[in-house]
């Protein structure tokens, strides 16, 4: 078996709010969205339309977001589980100090930037759905 990429699919309560959060705070771009009717794929959000799925991308990272009702139907193991995670999605980035400073001014749940014993500068952010994002850069 060969694995060519990993694209986490997050269960979320509101697609549009989640997409706005990731675009505004982390610079992700909407790639595609599926409306409730599930009869087409949109590249941008249409007014007065609710969505059940969206895919976003920044550089080499791709995240999928799926609304709770369809997520629990498709991923049956999540049926009785709450939204959120006890896992962190850890990303190597460049320019961590500036990025951390920028996020600190946005009223987010964010940890301090620290240098670890294994030589990385890193911090964590909790998103609006309870997921934990880790950002790291090799310490100089």
CATH tag, 84-140: 3.30.720.110
- C-alpha distances (whole Å) from 63 to each of 60, 109, 113, 139 are 10, 20, 24, 26
Domain with CATH 3.30.720.110 in the chain: 84-140
**Architecture of the domain whose range is 1-81:** 2-Layer Sandwich (3.30)
Assess contact for 61 and 47: CB atoms under 8 A.
no
Q: What is the pLDDT of residues 5-41, one digit of tens each?
A: 889 999 999 999 999 999 999 999 999 999 999 999 9
Cα gap 33→10, rounded to integer Å:
14
Average pLDDT of every residue of the chain = 94
Largest CA distance in the chain: 50
pTM of this prediction? Answer: 0.91
């Amino acid at each position: 078996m060969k694995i060519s990429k990993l694209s986490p699919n997050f269960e979320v309560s509101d697609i549009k709010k989640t997409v706005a959060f990731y675009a505004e705070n982390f610079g992700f771009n909407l790639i595609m969205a599926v409306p409730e009717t599930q009869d087409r794929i949109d590249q941008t959000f249409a007014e007065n339309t609710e969505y059940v799925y969206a895919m976003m991308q920044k550089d080499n990272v791709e995240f999928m977001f799926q609304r709770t009702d369809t997520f629990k139907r498709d991923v049956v193991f999540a049926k009785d589980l709450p939204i959120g995670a006890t896992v962190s999605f850890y990303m190597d980035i460049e320019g961590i100090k500036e990025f951390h400073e920028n996020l600190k001014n946005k009223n987010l749940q964010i940890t301090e930037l620290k240098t670890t014993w294994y030589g990385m500068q890193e911090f964590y952010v909790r998103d609006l759905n309870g997921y934990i994002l880790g950002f790291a850069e090799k310490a100089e």
